[in-house]
Chains A and B, each alone.
Chain A
Amino acid sequence: MNYELIGITVLWVFLYGYLIVASIDFGAGFFAYYAKLTKQDHVVNKLISRYLSPVWEVTNVFFVFFFVGLVGFFPDAAYYFGQSLLVPGSIAIILIAIRGSFYAFENYGSKKSHLFMFLYGATGLFIPAALSTALTISEGGFIEETETGVHLLTGELLRSPYSWSVVFLAIVSVLYISAAFLSFYAKKAGDTAAFQFMRKLALFWSTPTIIASLTTFIAMSQHNSRHFENMLDLWWMFGISVAFFLGALWLIYSERRLGLAFIFVMFQFFFAFFGYGAGHLPYLLEPFITISDSVTNDTMGLALIIAFIAGLCLLVPSLILLMKMFLFDAEYVKGKK
């Protein structure tokens, strides 16, 4: 396998990892605020903060890893994405900054604040919307290159049905993934009230998620037929994705095997995300960057892959340790430690 394929696979895996862990985090913030508004915070907020407190920083690293890796493996991407994404990128940074720091202020500070909770909840929905812009513009048609440089065509972006369907999909899947995970976590904690609360939300958000997936598919066929054709060739990946969706839905509905249900949800997004990504190739940013012409030179490619393997040897055991301590330790989950 050549460096560009290894590189893009590594990056895509990390982006997928971010999609899952960040969704749990973003959705949890929204649910926590929603529970507070509807005066049900006593039901779920303890559960949510018990999961989030030790891991929120790790979530953030997945994202940093992705964009640093992208620049590392594909330096040209820094130029085109950097030139065109200044405004949405800066807005995303500011939202992430507000969210991360106010989470810490709320949870480790001394006083619970309504404003902090609100900021935490609201940013959880705006961040996926801002970040999904990067994926949208990678489809082409939203930036132009002139003598003065690369520019984002903001008007085109705001008028495009495709960009709005991506935003919608991003938000509803965040809520769906998060609710599915928190149902599992609540069940594990033996917290029936919290489980029923989260289960209802998971079932509720499953419908818009599947509808948004379909509309995004249709909007894609209008916007970028090449990518759409490629995705049709990979129809089986999307078929598997839908099958996992139905499986997860059935398990959550019948209140059985919630751990397996969440794994199904992960597979649902895994297949859809990788089908989408594979169809995107060979372009990283259509029509300016393909993966082969923008890849870093061989020496750096090799160095990055060695660094990556060495890093994984350090990371995987540490992550397993963390999960054992906080995710799969029944006593901790129940709040006894």
Chain B
Amino acid sequence: MFEADSVLLSRLLTSLTLMFHAIFATLGVGIPLMISIAELIGIRKKDSHYTLLAQRWARGYVILVAVGVVTGTAIGLQLSLLWPSFMQFAGNVISLPLFLETFAFFFEAIFLGAYLYTWDRFNKPIYHWLLSLPVVIGGGLSAFFITTVNAFMNTPDGFDLTNGEITSINPMEAMFNPATPTKVFHVLTSSYLTAAAILATIAALAILRKRGNAYHRKALKLTMVVTFIFAILTAVAGDLSAKHLAEHQPEKLAAAEWHFETEESADLVVFGTLDENNEVQNAIRIPNMLSFLAFGDFNAEVQGLEEINEGEQPPLIIHYFFDLMVSLGMYALGVSFLFLALWKLKRFNPFNKWVLWLVVLNGPFAMLAIEFGWLLAEVGRQPWIMRGFMTVAEAATTSPNVAWMLLLFIGLYVVLGFTVVRVLRKLFKDNPAELELEQKYPNVTKSGVDA
């Protein structure tokens, strides 16, 4: 292992940090929205159940945000430590969004502290709710700015290259490069979807365990409504992303779809395997669907992988990442729709055991979809670190010590991962919602409205 080269090890270490960070970053962006919604409903309906929901979510959120902050700091520094040549080169063009991202982060950090420590400090509860808005906005803006950087790496724009020198830089054009709109849209909607789905998992588990009370039922209804809305938006964002890829990064789409020959009326290949001649076996083929997905036209011509130089083709494994991400996204849409349909059609019981189990699975599935989506996006632009300009091999550090650092960070993430789960479990197990409700709001009726 210690003979392996710095490039491979740097890639492993970066992906490890990013995949670990993605869990906490996704929840960090999504949960504040849920907290804010719950608190507002609590105030408007004078329903203590929702207020307690916001408080308990906020308590768990701080723990997650702490890990998000420290892993975010890690990836921020690792960019320069592991990819010094890339940062030297691209720093000239993309420092603006990186810089702005820290401002958004700053803004969020200030108000998160203020929000957490002022629950009972204002005469009017709505003032406290107002403090949640900068946290929601700051989290969204962080995601926006950092996603523009990633979009730039996929479709670099806003500068000219003459004899290896960067000239005529336009920072705004670099930030709003062709990949930015679809990427930001997709990242934000999928983060809100995943956060809501995870919180729904918790509520559903509570109901399954204890046959549930009004508090958990309200939590589940609220989170499923939000899951459904963002599942639709995520699907729209995904469709737009595919159309963006067809136009600007055809090699990524072709590799993701195992589409080798350029042809009109291209079929969509779902799952399957490849034999040694790169022939697709065992797959489900949906006729003409790829053309429709890529261009909104069943007969459009889709560029195949054959047109890309061999050395510049992305690895074919991304096909599975693509299919898994889409399937899990569809699952989220299906489950949330099923739940809402059963709830609205009063004849059925949405709190049926089987439905609840489907909901429980949805949270972890959504998080997996996030990871598969990022794997698709990142592995899919190999061998480039900046598509068309710099390969990953040119960008990596030459330091001989990356292997040791990789081991250190594996250790760190194992410890952090285990501890965060233990701390969260203890935090909520020792203090169930029923108990807290009795202690905090003794005058509350069963429905939650203050007596």
- Whether A78 touches B91, Cβ cut-off 8 Å, given contacts A64-B102, A72-B98, A307-B100, is yes
With a cutoff of 8 Å between Cβ atoms, the chain B residues found around residue A75 in the complex are 87-92, 95
Q: Does A155 contact B (CB under 8 A)?
A: no
Known: A90-B408, A104-B63. A55 touches B113 (CB 8 A): yes
Q: Are A326 and B92 in contact, CB atoms less than 8 angstroms apart? A: no
Chain B: residues with Cβ within 8 Å of the partner, total of: 75
Overall SS of chain B's interface: helix
B residues 93-110 in Cβ contact with A at 8 Å: 93, 95-96, 98-103, 105-107, 109-110
Interface set, chain B 382-435, CB cutoff 8 A to A = 397-399, 401-402, 404-405, 408-409, 412, 415-416, 419-420, 423, 426-427, 430-431
Pick the contact of A54: B72, B81, B87, B113 (CB < 8 A).
B113
Residues of B within 8 A of A97 (CB): 70-71, 73-74, 412, 416
B69 near A100: Cβ-Cβ < 8 Å? yes
Indicate whether B124 reaches chain A with its CB closer than 8 angstroms. no
Binary per-residue interface labels of chain A (18-30) against chain B in the complex, 1 for a CB within 8 Å, 0 otherwise: 0000000000000
Interfacial chain B residues near A100, Cβ < 8 Å = 66, 69-70, 73
Give Cα A105 to B416, complex, Å: 10
Q: Name B99's contact: one of A58, A61, A72, A78 (CB within 8 Å).
A: A72
Contact B91–A296 (Cβ < 8 Å): yes
A78 x B88 contact (CB < 8 A): yes
Q: Is A159 in contact with chain B by the CB < 8 A criterion?
A: no
Q: Does B15 contact A (CB under 8 A)?
A: no
Q: Are A96 and B70 in contact (CB under 8 A)?
A: yes
User: Chain A residues with Cβ under 8 A from B427's Cβ?
Assistant: 108-110
Interface core residue of A79, A86, A148, A299 (most chain B CB under 10 Å): A86
Question: Cβ of A103 and Cβ of B66 under 8 Å apart?
Answer: yes
User: Which residue of chain B has its CB nearest to the CB of A149?
Assistant: B398
Minimum Cβ distance to chain A for residue B326 (Å):
33
| Leading 8 A-B pairs by shortest Cβ distance | A72-B95, A75-B91, A104-B66, A82-B84, A149-B398, A54-B113, A78-B87, A82-B80
Name B's A-contacting residues (CB within 8 A).
59, 62-63, 65-67, 69-74, 76-78, 80-85, 87-93, 95-96, 98-103, 105-107, 109-114, 116-118, 120-121, 134, 166, 169-172, 397-399, 401-402, 404-405, 408-409, 412, 415-416, 419-420, 423, 426-427, 430-431
Q: A residues near B, CB below 8 A?
A: 53-55, 57-58, 60-61, 63-65, 67-69, 71-73, 75-76, 78-83, 85-87, 89-94, 96-105, 108-111, 148-151, 296-297, 299-300, 303-304, 307-308, 311, 314-315, 318-319, 321-322, 325-326, 337
